[in-house]
Structure 1
Amino acid sequence: MGELAGVLAAIASSALGGTAVGATRYVVGAVDPLTLGALRFGIGFLCLLPIALAQREAWPARRDWPRAAALGLLFFGLFPVLFNASLLYTTAARAALALSTLPLLTMLAGAILGVEALTARKSAGVALAMGGVALALAAGLADAPAGAWRGDLLMVAAALCMALYSVWARPVIHRSGPVRFTLLAMGTGATCLGLLAGIGGGFAALPGFGWPQWIAVFYLGLFGSALIFFLWAFALGRTTPTRVAVSVTVNPVTAALLGALLLDEPVGWNLVLGLVTVFSGIWLAVTAGKPAGTAAPHKR
């Protein structure tokens, strides 16, 4: 049940992530990527702080502070800058497809670093889920602005940051807990982004925000930061990095479904078939048996 709970938490995190892409796309033109990242994770930190203080789970041990801080800079510092900047150059559909390389990158990183064995069934599940994303978004991929490849590459770089975080964070989460580890890592990243945004004058754009922009920012802070990344850390504490990462293929499909519900965008056969293919790939990857060569999380 513990591993199933982890997979379900990862799917929920990725489903909410699809809405975060839309909110970021909406507000990213009004503020620079550094400032938006500082606002998003600063609000997320403040939302998680009372929960972390009220819980009884352990704080990361002092020997884990450097790793938690470094992971915070990687995931809550560099990742959002790359993620936000990519949406300045490319479409939401292309960015979502680029982000769906995360399971492949995580699977390769886990195998190279000796954290997780590479199996044929898991690889087939990842490939099937990624194919489902491409199928679901096929209609929107042709509408690319000039220079969209820059945004695509930035999003792949963001996915690589997330893959390395997923692999390297798991042992620390096992030794402490998801809420307090996420709080420490998120606080480090938000502080760094806030200092850089302040030096660069990024906060000067905030007086020009209207209610729609502030609603989008607070949505990103509460749901697109605190809840999403708590669920992600919770999942990493209960199942393998690849099984968590493959759930990100739900992200672009839920974004497309949200567009159909709220913006009356058409739902074609490719979206329905893509959704079925994505969940088939996730099922194939997460039901793979644990091979004898799978490395256990480090307890040192």
Structure 2
Amino acid sequence: MKIPDFKQHIAMLLVGLLYGTNYSIVKIITPEYILPFGLIVIRVAIATACFWLIGLSVNEKINWRADWVRIVLCAFFGVGINMLFFFKGVSLTTAINGSIIMTLTPVMVFVTSLILLKEKVTLLKVLGLAVGFLGAFLIIYSPGTGISLGNWRGDVLILLNAMSYGVYLVLVKPLMARYTPITVAKWIFFFGFLLVLPVGWNEFTQIEWQALTAKVYFSMAFVIIGVTVIVYVLNIWALKKVNPSTVGVYIYVQPVFATLIASTFFGEILSIRHLIAALLVFAGVWLVVKRG
């Protein structure tokens, strides 16, 4: 049995940590200080500038005749729909509903991979997805209280976000065989910015900059640099090494990290149920990435 290279899995774990932290950090910013779409405009604009600055050191040209459609589609699914629908959906529905729906992303990746890449489905992968989902569900479901009902519009937006991210992970992989991660990221975000700007412009103009505190600015920096620039580069780099389903299944570690961070820094209780759930999540990831 070939042992998977640990570096890409460390990268995906870091992505899960950043995303898990993001759930708490975003609440500091929106909607009290900045509305969701306005924050997306700031996020994508600064991230695009960062990618282009970094890209100055990479002398690489895109084969536009062959790849322009795929790049625009990646921007549409990976930046436009993904970010706009997620932030808006979280603002409308409950955290429990949103977290449960987001764990469907690996399923969306599998379905898209089957259609576009003819990816092989094995019993271990199916079992891994089921075990990982059980672990994530155990964290975000509170026995005795049931699942809180959220706004159905927010639930639909989160579901569409999960679908779009799954499609993005599959669409972007062929680009990794031809270009560096920075080249791909800078063009995806450039076109993504053109997509989100008209949608979020009105909310962006409503921002009262004088009311923003140092804590808000720090939180924005985390969202933009940590959860946008670093996450996208790590995800794209990982896709050069593993298949889209492996990257997608790491969404299961997000609720684990989110729970650990909330219990450590926000006073929530870490229970035996959380520890069991964490074991299930990592067991699920191992089954998916295991090579027979």
Same fold (TM over 0.5): yes
- How many residues align structurally? 287
Residue identity opposite 1:160 in structure 2: M
The equivalent residue for 1:234 is: 237
CA separation of 1:205 and 1:68: change in aligned 2, threshold 3 A: same
The equivalent residue for 2:9 is: 7
Alignment of 1:19-58 (within 5 A): 19-29=21-31, 30-55=33-58, 58=60
**1:132 pairs with one of 130, 135, 144:** 135
**Deviation for aligned residue 1:112:** 2.2
The equivalent residue for 1:169 is: 172
**1:251 pairs with one of 245, 250, 254:** 254
CA separation of 1:140 and 1:105: change in aligned 2, threshold 3 A: farther
Alignment of 1:130-279 (within 5 A): 130-139=133-142, 142=145, 147-198=150-201, 200-207=202-209, 208-279=211-282
CA separation of 1:32 and 1:119: change in aligned 2, threshold 3 A: same
Give unpaired runs (5+ residues) of structure 1.
290-300
Supply the distance in 2 between the matched residues of 1:250 and 1:111 (Cα, whole angstroms). 24
**Deviation for aligned residue 1:144:** 6.2
Residue identity opposite 1:280 in structure 2: A
CA separation of 1:120 and 1:272: change in aligned 2, threshold 3 A: same
Does the 8 A contact of 1:59 with 1:177 survive in 2?
no
**Deviation for aligned residue 1:146:** 5.2
CA separation of 1:209 and 1:152: change in aligned 2, threshold 3 A: same
Which secondary structure state, in structure 2, belongs to the residue aligned with residue 54 of structure 1?
Answer: coil
Alignment of 1:275-286 (within 5 A): 275-286=278-289
The equivalent residue for 1:99 is: 102
- Structure 1 residue 84 corresponds to structure 2 residue 94: no
CA separation of 1:203 and 1:262: change in aligned 2, threshold 3 A: same
Residue identity opposite 2:173 in structure 1: R
Which secondary structure state, in structure 1, belongs to the residue aligned with residue 206 of structure 2?
Answer: helix
Supply the distance in 2 between the matched residues of 1:95 and 1:186 (Cα, whole angstroms). 25
The equivalent residue for 2:20 is: 18
The equivalent residue for 1:296 is: none
CA separation of 1:203 and 1:214: change in aligned 2, threshold 3 A: farther
The equivalent residue for 1:298 is: none
CA separation of 1:226 and 1:244: change in aligned 2, threshold 3 A: same
Does the 8 A contact of 1:178 with 1:233 survive in 2?
yes
**Deviation for aligned residue 1:148:** 3.6
Residue identity opposite 2:17 in structure 1: A
**Deviation for aligned residue 1:201:** 5.0
**Deviation for aligned residue 1:278:** 0.3
**Deviation for aligned residue 1:20:** 1.5
CA separation of 1:2 and 1:69: change in aligned 2, threshold 3 A: farther
Does the 8 A contact of 1:19 with 1:258 survive in 2?
yes
Which secondary structure state, in structure 1, belongs to the residue aligned with residue 207 of structure 2?
Answer: helix
Superposed CA RMSD in Å reads 2.2
**1:116 pairs with one of 111, 115, 119:** 119
**Deviation for aligned residue 1:142:** 4.2
The equivalent residue for 1:293 is: none
Supply the distance in 1 between the matched residues of 2:246 and 2:287 (Cα, whole angstroms). 10
**Deviation for aligned residue 1:2:** 7.7
Percent identity of equivalent pairs: 21
**Deviation for aligned residue 1:53:** 1.9
Does the 8 A contact of 1:93 with 1:252 survive in 2?
no
Does the 8 A contact of 2:97 with 2:149 survive in 1?
no
Supply the distance in 2 between the matched residues of 1:141 and 1:237 (Cα, whole angstroms). 44
Supply the distance in 1 between the matched residues of 2:169 and 2:121 (Cα, whole angstroms). 16
Does the 8 A contact of 1:102 with 1:163 survive in 2?
yes
Give unpaired runs (5+ residues) of structure 2.
none
CA separation of 1:187 and 1:171: change in aligned 2, threshold 3 A: same
CA separation of 1:201 and 1:266: change in aligned 2, threshold 3 A: closer
Supply the distance in 2 between the matched residues of 1:17 and 1:239 (Cα, whole angstroms). 20
